[in-house]
Structure 1
């Protein structure tokens, strides 16, 4: 691993890098076997979980914290149900996803069925777009914090996994979205405030 990459891995940021940061557009490197049980990797994973929960989001890929390594964290807590209408929750096939942490993950598409739904990203703060994703996937890798080495995911959980895997390959959801659907999710507040609304990049 290059000196530049090593220098960027300790410590990870405690905020989300934003589109435009070069780290989001490179293919993240695999974590070498000899580093899997290192304090460095454990610290990165711990920080990713803390950021995930601090921002109350559903997924984090290491590049989003400035770390160009192949690590993802996912979680969809039961409590997030209240953030969606019952219709959206059912239509988007949402369901709780326990904390799942993978190092060097791989993803396998196991159905041709796709669904298109609004998708956002903490690295494109304040916007969303319609993105088609496969309905069922299998994620394999080195599970951390009690995560099994293989998970089969359906619906919204499968979407989360595909979104985070894209980050590891330098892909952002705007590359896949229906461009005409790109939306500032705060537009009503912006109009109501006479343009004096602010998109916050911290919690």
Structure 2
């Protein structure tokens, strides 16, 4: 059965990105805020390309993410309207930061057709940024843990609870698949350049930033 026009368009986008990466040393250009594709709902993977091309796309997305550098990258961020993201986090080298933010290493994962729901009513708020909005960060409240569903590259179903900083990364990337960017959920009074974050707000917690910039943190962070 031939693909419909929408799926054929996604397949063409994938092949265009693979060609661009081949010409760019294995790295694809990152789409920045203002491009309409970042505000569109992606299509679930349903065989738009074969397994080899899909695996190649995963490799390109990981290489692009690491070169940026970043810890997550979604399909729309390389110009593809496909429900797919890659994520990989080395964790925090500072023990206090790792404890406060629950930031432990997350091995590489590739998730297709991702969706999530909160696994707890407890929210935590920290600065986060986005490769599609370079140079800025803002504080975003997200669930401390989420329930993630999807499939991996082999088509194996995923249904698991993801917690801590890994949950933040996964939620951020999954939001991209629905046309949502982190600034849509951010405390805009916290919006800061990367330089300002490093200069003023490099503490493990965001309590000082909230006090001095005048925004509210979730009650679970005020204990």
Q: Distance in 2 between matches of 1:155 and 1:51?
A: 24
- In structure 1, the partner of 2:109 is 100
Tell me the CA shift for residue 90 of structure 1. Answer: 1.7
Structure 1: runs of 5 or more not aligned: 190-203
Deviates more, 1:172-181 or 1:149-158: 149-158
Q: Distance in 2 between matches of 1:166 and 1:108?
A: 11
Contact kept? 1:101, 1:147, Cα under 8 Å: no
Q: Distance in 2 between matches of 1:48 and 1:116?
A: 27
Structure 2: runs of 5 or more not aligned: 21-27, 199-223
- In structure 2, the partner of 1:25 is 39
The two structures have a TM-score, normalised by structure 1, of 0.81
Asked if 1:109 is matched to 2:125, the reply is: no
The two structures have a TM-score, normalised by structure 2, of 0.75
Q: How many residues align?
A: 184
Asked if 1:138 is matched to 2:147, the reply is: yes
CA 1:30–1:146 in structure 2 vs 1: closer, same or farther (change >3 Å)? Answer: closer
* Higher normalized contact order (CA 8 Å, seq sep 6+, divided by chain length): 1
- In structure 2, the partner of 1:39 is 52
- In structure 2, the partner of 1:50 is 63
Deviations 1:62-96 (A, max 9, x none): 1111111000111112xx523xx433222111011
Q: Distance in 2 between matches of 1:177 and 1:35?
A: 34
Q: Distance in 2 between matches of 1:96 and 1:148?
A: 22
Contact kept? 2:42, 2:81, Cα under 8 Å: yes
- Give matches, 1:168-183, under 5 Å: 168-183=177-192
Tell me the CA shift for residue 155 of structure 1. Answer: 1.0
Asked if 1:9 is matched to 2:18, the reply is: no
CA 1:153–1:169 in structure 2 vs 1: closer, same or farther (change >3 Å)? Answer: same
Deviates more, 1:56-65 or 1:180-189: 180-189
* Partner SS for 2:44: coil
CA RMSD of aligned residues (A): 2.3
